[in-house]
Structure 1
Amino acid sequence: MLYSLHVKNLALIKEQEIEFTKGLNILTGETGAGKSVIIGSVNLALGAKADAGLIRTGEEYALVELSFGLENDSQRKFFADMDIPVEEDGTVVIQRKIMQGRSVSKVCGETVTTKQLKDISNVLINIHGQNDHQELLHKNKHLEILDEYCINELKDLPDKLKKNLEKLNDIQKKLDETSIDENSRLREQELLEFEVNEIAEAELVLGEDEKLEASYHKMVNSRKISEAAGMAYSLIGAGESDENASDMIGRAVRELSSVSGYDKELEDLLSQLSDVENLLTDFNHSLSNYIDELEFDDEEFQTVEDRLNTINHLKDKYGGSVESVLAELDKKQARLDTLSDLDAHRNILLHELSEQKEVVLNLCKKISDIRKKGSKGLTDKLTKALVDLNFLDVKFGIGIGTDENNITSKGYDSVEFMISTNPGEKLRPLEKIASGGELSRIMLALKTVVADKDDISTLIFDEIDTGISGKTAWQVSKKLGELSANHQIICITHLPQIAAMADSHFMIEKGLSDGRTVTSIYSLSEDASTKELARLLGGEEITDATIKNAVEMRQMARDNKVK
């Protein structure tokens, strides 16, 4: 559930924190008080597009922070799989800081991407905005809702279908590549034969270019190397000068040897100097051998240079490295083999395509069968939920059509919700007969039915009461109360019938602070909640009659609330 919302420097909010409770959390306030900012701030924290214009005038940044509590194993597993550290008590803190030109999102202190943030929000909360019910006019949404209802039965079938469809499309792509005319085939084959021979004749060896580069670099700079090595040898070894390091150290050893018997400490120093003399002697031998081996002839140099030119030409042409050139050789050889016996290759692909299409069709059928079976249960439950929401003579149906020639990652089904709200009228597509108020109630009914199928414990409704009043408003209120028995509901409303059902009631109002307009949110006591109900019932002037009516409405809501 959502424990709290902390907002700072966002739009008209200076700094506010709301602590939500279990059950039904109701938010009310005057029109224009900033109710939409509350839902907007939650959406921002969960990855919605951020606009620097939302930062409160005069401030450098805006901050939104949500604190959730994980309530089931699937949520905990999700965060464990994402390698995000969660508090031992299951608390998850989502924070988004919005600055000029950029924003930073963190979950439990770990920086996350916008995509990761949206994935996280999908397992924690479900938000129904003011216009979301309009999605019901799109058939794609109908398929999504039905699959959501059938989620436990579908299991991993949609993922399997997606992978196998990708494999099918890959085979089809390869098959399409075989559809070339004879002249084109011969031209491509001739070019491939030239390229394959060009690479094969080079007989490339992995790592050969690096060794050749080192040898070539050494040969090109051999004169400098020779001069430097010779000078070093003359200074250290047995050169023409008597003042070389070897002779001088030898003299130093002899001098110390002549007096070392007089002092124990001199014996230790003599031992160290003797070690230096031995090391220098070994070095002189190594340097002398290096100088002797430094010689090379022009023919050897030309051989190395030509080989390097060949290798570098192939690298430039086929991929930048010996590994890439060899990989390209395998690829071109495989394509050449294909072109050499195109008919046989095409027949193999046709066989693979047929087998893979059978796999895909079988998965589509399994998914379709589950949908058709699930649609019956969804139809029954949704019809009952619609009756509860004052659709007295409603009939609801789900049409499922199949087209094996139109397979997508979701299968070959097309799903359409059908409804009749008047006696004697036949079922017709939802988009053709439902009004705005009816769509809101249908969406609420769907949320009620599907809510028990997922692990999301928090639902937000932004003015689910659009276009309704009177008895229908009471029915919507009862349905929200029913839904809040097992879910945390946060609902923005302007109807007293719905507000009366609140377990926790919050007031949103606009005022002045230090000469500036600010939006404030605070929890209402029982008496304050009653007065707010009276305002919703009777407007600005609150009379004893509206107070009495508000008290009765509150009691009626309690009597009707699901225990």
Structure 2
Amino acid sequence: MLLNVHIKNIALIDDANVNFTDNLNILTGETGAGKSIIMGALKIGMGDKLPKDIVREPDKEGFCQLLFLVDDPQVIEQIRDLGVEPSEDGEILITRRINNSRTINTINDMAVTAAKLREVSALLIDMHTQHQQQTLLKKAEHMKLLDKYGRASIDPLKQKVAECHREYVTLRREMDELSMDEAERSRKVEFLKYQIAEIESANIKTGEDEDVEHQYNRMVNSRDIVAAASDVYSVTGYESSSSAGNEIGRALASMKGIKDLDGEIDGLYSQLENIDALLNDFNVELNDYMQSMDFDDSEFRSVESRLDVINDIKGKYGSTVEEVFKYLEDSRKEYERLSEYDEYIAGLSDKIKKAEKAMLKAADALTAERQRQAENLCRDIRDALADLSFMEVRFDMVFDRLPECTANGIDDCYFVISTNVGEKMRPLYDVASGGELSRIMLAIKSCMASEDNIGTLVFDEIDVGISGRAAQKVAEKMAVISRSHQVISITHLPQIAAMADSHYLIEKSADEGKTVTRIVRLNDEESTEEIARLLGGVTITEAVMSNAREMKQMAEKTKKY
């Protein structure tokens, strides 16, 4: 559930800190008080794109923080799968800080992307807005709702269809790529034959390119290398009287006469002997190295020629020897296919038929399960609509078949509805009444809520276009949902406000020459006064107050059943 929302320097909100409770949380306020800003702030916290100029005072930080408590083990595991670790007591703290058009997003103090915010918040909160309500008018959304409702049994079948479709598409793509006339096939076979022979004749070994290039670089630079090595040899060897070897020899002779006179001298003499031995070994190895650099022109031309062959092959068939080998392997396979073209095409055609049959079988199984789940969903929605004063409603789902199977199956399905006796069923996306759409969406939400484990449901403008008895039924349905889920709703209807377990007032006022929006939780008497305002408008009479009290009393009785 959503425990707390803290907003600073966002739109008209200077600093608002709201603690929400279990069950039904209702927010009311005058038109223009900033109710939409509260919903906008929630969306920002959930990772939505930041509106332009959202920060109230640009030279200060904008801040939005949502604190959730998660106690469902399955949701906790899903959050962990997204790389986020809840606190020991199950808290998830989402924070967005906006500074100079830059946003820093964190979850439990771990920096994350806005996309990660959306993924995590989607497991915690389900927000219904008037915009979302319009998704009912999109045919494609209907099957998404069905699949979400029956995901436990539908998802495995969807996965099977996707796997079969992927196999089928891969085989069809291969068939399309191999489709060619006899002349084209002959040209390709000959070209592959030439490429295979060229690579094989080069007889390149793994790592040979690096070895040959190393040899070539040594030979190309041998003159400079030998000249420098000779200088080193003359300095460290024994060829001149000033060479290091000779100088150390003279030093050893000088120390030999005195080493027996003092034990410390003897130790130093031993160190110098080691230096002389090391220098001698160094000069022997250096001389051997210079001798190895002695090669004739034929050796150089041989290495140069081999390097040219290797680089030529790599230039044509891959930047590395491993890529060349992979190209050779693929070419051999394709040569074999094209050499036995008719037999291969026949075999491939048979594989395509079997893959298509398996795909359609999986799609039919998916369709059958979707139809079973659609019966359950439509029955639940009909019951929920009856609770919302759709007295003679009929609600069903029509299944059509797509021309071709997709990775999502072969179904083209959509909801149909009739709200009056004698009225024919018509697609839900043809429903025009805002009030009907609001109640239908609430009915669907109530059915979906029983199937998912999202802790918090937020309704913004769910009461659009309704009043009277319909408003009362919507309030009762929201109260029912709030028994198993935390519900947060903005409303302008007194029937819904009276049903609140926690009632909040959103109001706008002037503070030090600035317009600010604040949110306060109302006690019972203040809640009654706010309901009276919703009932009576500007002038609140005793009769209106009495009506408001009675409405709250009736709501309390309704919530007990």
Q: Normalising TM by the smaller chain, what interval?
A: over 0.9
Match of 2:372 in 1: 373
Per-residue deviation, 1:332: 2.2
Match of 2:96 in 1: 96
Alpha-carbon distance in structure 2 between the residues aligned to 1:555 and 1:378:
34
Match of 1:20 in 2: 20
Letter in 2 for 1:96: R
Per-residue deviation, 1:483: 0.1
Per the alignment, in what secondary structure is the counterpart of residue 279 of structure 1?
Answer: helix
Alignment of 1:396 onto 2:395: yes
Match of 2:462 in 1: 464
Per-residue deviation, 1:61: 4.1
Alignment of 1:489 onto 2:487: yes
Alpha-carbon distance in structure 1 between the residues aligned to 2:395 and 2:356:
35
Alpha-carbon distance in structure 1 between the residues aligned to 2:105 and 2:308:
52
Per-residue deviation, 1:95: 2.0
Question: CA 1:159–1:99 in 2, change beyond 3 Å: closer, same or farther?
Answer: farther
Per-residue deviation, 1:102: 4.1
Match of 2:314 in 1: 315
Per-residue deviation, 1:245: 1.0
Q: 1:508 aligns with which of 496, 506, 509?
A: 506
Per-residue deviation, 1:155: 4.2
Match of 2:9 in 1: 9
Question: CA 1:434–1:52 in 2, change beyond 3 Å: closer, same or farther?
Answer: closer
Q: Deviations over 1:354-376 (max 9, x none)?
A: 22222222221222111111222
Question: CA 1:140–1:99 in 2, change beyond 3 Å: closer, same or farther?
Answer: same
Alpha-carbon distance in structure 2 between the residues aligned to 1:409 and 1:395:
31
- The equivalences for 1:190-339 within 5 A come to 190-239=190-239, 241-339=240-338
Match of 1:533 in 2: 531
Q: Deviations over 1:304-329 (max 9, x none)?
A: 22222222223233332222222122
Alignment of 1:140 onto 2:140: yes
Greater shift, 51-60 or 435-444, is seen at: 51-60
Match of 2:49 in 1: 49
Q: Which runs of 5+ in 1 are unaligned?
A: none
Match of 1:417 in 2: 415
Per the alignment, in what secondary structure is the counterpart of residue 53 of structure 2?
Answer: helix
Alpha-carbon distance in structure 2 between the residues aligned to 1:485 and 1:147:
25
Letter in 1 for 2:392: D
Per-residue deviation, 1:437: 0.7
Per-residue deviation, 1:99: 4.1
Letter in 2 for 1:489: V
Per the alignment, in what secondary structure is the counterpart of residue 64 of structure 1?
Answer: strand
Question: CA 1:481–1:350 in 2, change beyond 3 Å: closer, same or farther?
Answer: same
Per the alignment, in what secondary structure is the counterpart of residue 482 of structure 1?
Answer: helix
Letter in 2 for 1:499: A
Question: CA 1:45–1:201 in 2, change beyond 3 Å: closer, same or farther?
Answer: farther
Match of 1:122 in 2: 122
Alignment of 1:108 onto 2:104: no
Q: Is the 8 A contact 1:52 1:101 kept in 2?
A: no
Per the alignment, in what secondary structure is the counterpart of residue 260 of structure 2?
Answer: helix
Per-residue deviation, 1:522: 2.2
Per the alignment, in what secondary structure is the counterpart of residue 260 of structure 1?
Answer: coil
Match of 1:343 in 2: 342
Per-residue deviation, 1:433: 4.0
Per the alignment, in what secondary structure is the counterpart of residue 486 of structure 1?
Answer: coil
Letter in 1 for 2:369: I
Q: Is the 8 A contact 1:482 1:562 kept in 2?
A: no
Q: Is the 8 A contact 2:82 2:120 kept in 1?
A: no
Match of 1:549 in 2: 547
Match of 1:437 in 2: 435
Per-residue deviation, 1:121: 2.3
Letter in 2 for 1:165: H
Alpha-carbon distance in structure 2 between the residues aligned to 1:481 and 1:192:
73
Question: CA 1:171–1:465 in 2, change beyond 3 Å: closer, same or farther?
Answer: same
Alpha-carbon distance in structure 2 between the residues aligned to 1:306 and 1:515:
86
Match of 1:64 in 2: 64
Alpha-carbon distance in structure 1 between the residues aligned to 2:372 and 2:241:
104
Alpha-carbon distance in structure 2 between the residues aligned to 1:440 and 1:151:
25
Q: Deviations over 1:125-172 (max 9, x none)?
A: 111111222211222111111112212222422223222211211111
Match of 2:474 in 1: 476
Alpha-carbon distance in structure 1 between the residues aligned to 2:513 and 2:406:
58
Alpha-carbon distance in structure 1 between the residues aligned to 2:295 and 2:135:
80
Alpha-carbon distance in structure 2 between the residues aligned to 1:226 and 1:332:
46
Question: CA 1:275–1:106 in 2, change beyond 3 Å: closer, same or farther?
Answer: same
Alpha-carbon distance in structure 1 between the residues aligned to 2:50 and 2:379:
41
Alpha-carbon distance in structure 1 between the residues aligned to 2:79 and 2:469:
43
Q: Is the 8 A contact 1:152 1:453 kept in 2?
A: no
Q: Deviations over 1:224-243 (max 9, x none)?
A: 1101111111111122x111
Q: Deviations over 1:460-513 (max 9, x none)?
A: 111100100011100000000000000011111111111111111112122223
Alpha-carbon distance in structure 1 between the residues aligned to 2:96 and 2:323:
44
Alpha-carbon distance in structure 1 between the residues aligned to 2:40 and 2:160:
36
- The normalised TM-score by structure 1 is 0.95
Per the alignment, in what secondary structure is the counterpart of residue 389 of structure 2?
Answer: coil
Alpha-carbon distance in structure 1 between the residues aligned to 2:80 and 2:320:
40
Alpha-carbon distance in structure 1 between the residues aligned to 2:511 and 2:65:
23
Q: Which runs of 5+ in 2 are unaligned?
A: none
Q: Deviations over 1:12-35 (max 9, x none)?
A: 222222221111111111112221
Greater shift, 356-365 or 86-95, is seen at: 356-365
Alpha-carbon distance in structure 1 between the residues aligned to 2:46 and 2:310:
53
Alpha-carbon distance in structure 2 between the residues aligned to 1:333 and 1:115:
45
Match of 1:38 in 2: 38
Alpha-carbon distance in structure 1 between the residues aligned to 2:378 and 2:52:
45
Per-residue deviation, 1:66: 1.5
Match of 1:521 in 2: 519
Q: Is the 8 A contact 2:137 2:431 kept in 1?
A: no
Q: Deviations over 1:217-258 (max 9, x none)?
A: 11111111101111111111122x111111211222222232
Q: Deviations over 1:430-474 (max 9, x none)?
A: 233451110110110011111111111111111100100011100
Match of 1:451 in 2: 449
Alpha-carbon distance in structure 1 between the residues aligned to 2:337 and 2:99:
57
Structure 1 runs, 4 residues or longer, greater than 6 Å off = none
Q: Is the 8 A contact 1:196 1:332 kept in 2?
A: yes
Per-residue deviation, 1:286: 0.8
Greater shift, 24-33 or 303-312, is seen at: 303-312
Alignment of 1:74 onto 2:74: yes
Q: Is the 8 A contact 2:84 2:107 kept in 1?
A: yes
Alpha-carbon distance in structure 2 between the residues aligned to 1:127 and 1:342:
58
Per the alignment, in what secondary structure is the counterpart of residue 259 of structure 1?
Answer: coil
Alpha-carbon distance in structure 2 between the residues aligned to 1:156 and 1:493:
40
Per-residue deviation, 1:85: 2.2
Q: Is the 8 A contact 1:151 1:453 kept in 2?
A: no
Letter in 2 for 1:500: A
Alpha-carbon distance in structure 2 between the residues aligned to 1:497 and 1:303:
96
Per the alignment, in what secondary structure is the counterpart of residue 320 of structure 1?
Answer: coil
Letter in 2 for 1:516: K
- The equivalences for 1:347-366 within 5 A come to 347-366=346-365
Q: Is the 8 A contact 1:28 1:35 kept in 2?
A: yes
Question: CA 1:96–1:196 in 2, change beyond 3 Å: closer, same or farther?
Answer: farther
Name the Cα RMSD after superposition.
1.8
Q: Deviations over 1:100-137 (max 9, x none)?
A: 45433222233333333322222111111112222112
Match of 2:170 in 1: 170
